[in-house]
Amino acid sequence: MATETLRVDAVVIGAGPGGYVAGIRLGQLKKKALVVEKDKPGGICLNVGCIPSKALINASKLYDKLRHGSEIGILADNVRVDMGQMQRWKETVVGKLTGGVRILLKGNGCDYRTGVAHITGRSGALVVEVEGSGADAGKSIRVETSAVVVATGSRPVEIPGFAFDGNRVVDSTGALAFAEVPGRLVVIGAGYIGMEIRTLYAKLGSKVAVVEALPTILPGTDPELAAVVARRLKKMGVETITGAKAKSWADRGDRATVTVETQGGDVQLDADKILVAVGRRPNSEGLGLEALGVRIERGFIHVDRRQQTNVPGIYAIGDVAGQPMLAHKASREAEVAAEVIAGRRAEMDARTIPAVIFTDPEVATAGITAEEAQGRGRKVRVGKFPFAALGRAIANHDTDGFVKVIVDAETSEVLGLEVVGNGAGDIIGEAALAIEMGALADDVGLTIHAHPTLPEAIMEAAKASQGEAIHIQNRTQ
């Protein structure tokens, strides 16, 4: 088999929301780049993560609203779920986006190959060997380059006794591909992935039980926000077992039984499917990085603010480069790395990276919490505004939750903003912009917001931090 030899300015390993963005930006900067992806363009996020999960979550919310529409005068009899058609619709959404990735890369002059890449060392330049797979199976490439961007993402963590078998025990990828709605679903892990998928299937009619080793759901989230989600879980009939450990499972033929260790003794849960969602680990192995001396800690590649590793010419972005493991963080890091490779002055200097959890209700945050601010020696004021007092939320028949604004008590600078309530993910961008530009509470509060809209809650919360909210009683701080 003949080996093709290429010479490019940069090789990007991985075509997820970090990798493909790096390829596009390098092309825009007139750098000859090659993106190598072992699976499908778009990576985990577009193919089996962010996008398909939100497509199914949206469908489940629509189904649930139709089933409970009588309160607002919508009577929909015999509403049913066709899981096969829902999965086909999900795949059309994924197909449109992943197809667009290839078009964008090509349109910006970036080469794309399907294969497994390995950095074999230096021969004047960095050398990357690519063994073709998929559409490029049988094609071997030797690439010489001055820069390599590692954008290989992450994978689900397995736990002892619950190896993924693709049938009874699944990871998030498997859970988004069920041919039928499981009658009984046990979710191990109450972090954001487990909670999002729990939301999806609970709304589609599954009897869901959640097992979490820590004392609360959504660990690491402000307890006040998590409490709103917990109340909705209870209302939906979801069984939540915290402070517990999933020990083992057994196949009973028509079902599985999961043994859970609790403070009160072992309990058993029946399940048709078991979802293990206890976190993700970076994909940094098998790339040849260790042999080159790249610094790796707990699987994460250590980088500086320019996304540069300790080895000249090797960069890392996205999940593999450390927390937070978020697609939009990867995309921004990709732009930074591409610009540095192109000789521009750039660095990862974001003041905040917003995060959204697509539960019911949604949770979104930007900036720091009041506790974090106080821990840094800052005095704070907090303004809150409930969706129960907001015209648009009432009209939407969806009033659970609130907006919380954290401001510096001395300067009134907006330090953080937290939202729990459906629509949270759509309005958190305003908060991120306010923090990024160093806005004061008055900058937000005095900005005229369209009525009736959900972002008015941000305006009102900002005013509340100053004791000037209009549509709630102001508290003395």
Evaluate whether residue 366 is within a structural domain: yes
Residues 334 and 385 in one domain: no
Last residue of a domain, one of 341, 374, 389: 341
Give the pLDDT of residue 298.
Answer: 96
Q: How far apart (Å, rounded) are the C-alpha atoms in residues 4 and 164?
A: 37
What pTM was estimated for this model as a whole?
0.94
- Note the maximum CA span of the chain: 77
Give the pLDDT of residue 309.
Answer: 97
Q: Phi, psi at residue 290, to the nearest 5°?
A: -60, -40
Q: Is 415 exposed, middle or buried (0-12, 13-18, 19+ CB in 10 A)?
A: buried
Residue 455's CATH number: 3.30.390.30
Q: Which of 2-11, 190-199, 316-325 has the lowest mean pLDDT?
A: 2-11
Domain count, the chain: 3
User: Is 118 a residue of the active site?
Assistant: no
Residue 345 banded pLDDT, cuts 50, 70, 90: very high
Residue 35's CATH number: 3.50.50.60
Does the structure show a pLDDT above 70 at 359? yes
Average pLDDT, the chain: 95
Catalytic position from the list 68, 449, 451, 471: 451
For the segment 408-458, what is each residue's pLDDT rounded down to a tens digit? 999 999 999 999 999 999 999 999 999 999 999 999 999 999 999 999 999
Evaluate whether residue 407 is within a structural domain: yes
Residue 1 banded pLDDT, cuts 50, 70, 90: low
Residues 7 and 134 in one domain: yes
Domain that holds residue 412: 355-465
Q: Average pLDDT in the 313-332 region?
A: 97
For the segment 193-216, what is each residue's pLDDT rounded down to a tens digit? 999 999 999 999 999 999 999 999
Length of the chain: 477
Residues 48 and 143 in one domain: yes
Residues 180 and 246 in one domain: yes
Does the structure show a pLDDT above 70 at 2? no
For the segment 387-396, what is each residue's pLDDT rounded down to a tens digit? 999 999 999 9
For the segment 38-58, what is each residue's pLDDT rounded down to a tens digit? 999 999 999 999 999 999 999
Give the pLDDT of residue 206.
Answer: 97
- Residues paired with residue 355 on neighbouring β-strands, in sequence order: 365
Does the structure show a pLDDT above 90 at 135? no
Residues 241 and 255 in one domain: yes
Residues 273 and 291 in one domain: no
Residue 133 banded pLDDT, cuts 50, 70, 90: confident
Evaluate whether residue 325 is within a structural domain: yes
Evaluate whether residue 60 is within a structural domain: no
Give the pLDDT of residue 11.
Answer: 98
Residues 173 and 272 in one domain: yes
Residues 15 and 143 in one domain: yes
Tell me the two tokens of residue 45: 């996020």
Evaluate whether residue 133 is within a structural domain: yes
Residues 443 and 300 in one domain: no
For the segment 221-273, what is each residue's pLDDT rounded down to a tens digit? 999 999 999 999 999 999 999 999 999 999 999 999 999 999 999 999 999 99
Residues 6+ apart with CB under 8 A from 364: 354, 355, 356, 357, 418, 419, 420, 424, 425, 427, 428, 431
Evaluate whether residue 79 is within a structural domain: no
Q: How far apart (Å, rounded) are the C-alpha atoms in residues 195 and 286?
A: 32
Residues 26 and 147 in one domain: yes
Q: Which of 124-133, 191-200, 306-315, 356-365 has the lowest mean pLDDT?
A: 124-133
Using left for φ > 0, alpha for ψ between -120 and 50, and beta otherwise, residue 43 falls in left
Evaluate whether residue 346 is within a structural domain: no
Evaluate whether residue 76 is within a structural domain: no
Residues 175 and 134 in one domain: no
Residues 438 and 325 in one domain: no
Last residue of a domain, one of 313, 341, 369: 341
Give the pLDDT of residue 125.
Answer: 85
Closest CA to 128 of 106, 150, 110, 108: 150
Last residue of a domain, one of 278, 301, 328: 278
Give the pLDDT of residue 134.
Answer: 81
